[in-house]
Amino acid sequence: MARECAITGKSTQIGGRYSNRTRATQFNPTGKVRRKANLQKRRIFVAELGKFFLVDISVNGMRHIKKNGAHATLKKAGII
């Protein structure tokens, strides 16, 4: 299973690790780096169903739940 947010779909990104000093020179010895999403494993209680759901969720996804409610957000994501 890939490390991906169940709500927003955020996953790892690949990017460069460059400092301003290596940008100024011709020789760039830096390579690629994998940046991981800020995922948390959370038990989310849905009051309408009276159940807990265990999801890998990003912090941005938690903000979605706080704003729109657990039932509506998890239903839209296809978890319920």
pLDDT, tens digit, 9 for 90 and up, residues 8-52:
999 999 987 776 666 666 666 667 889 999 999 999 999 999 999
Within-domain flag for 1: no
Q: What is the pLDDT of residues 44-80, one digit of tens each?
A: 999 999 999 999 999 999 999 999 999 999 999 999 8
Is 71 part of any domain? yes
Show the domain range for 37.
13-77
Q: What is the CATH number of the domain that holds 17?
A: 2.30.170.40
> Does residue 70 belong to any structural domain of this protein?
yes
- What is the domain count for the chain? 1
CA 63 vs. chain centroid, Å, equals 11
- How far CA 54 is from CA of 6, 41, 59, in Å, comes to 10, 7, 15
Answer whether residue 41 is part of any domain. Answer: yes
Q: Residue 52 falls within a domain, yes or no? A: yes
The pTM of this model reads 0.73
User: Is pLDDT at 1 greater than 60 in this prediction?
Assistant: no
In-domain check, residue 47: yes
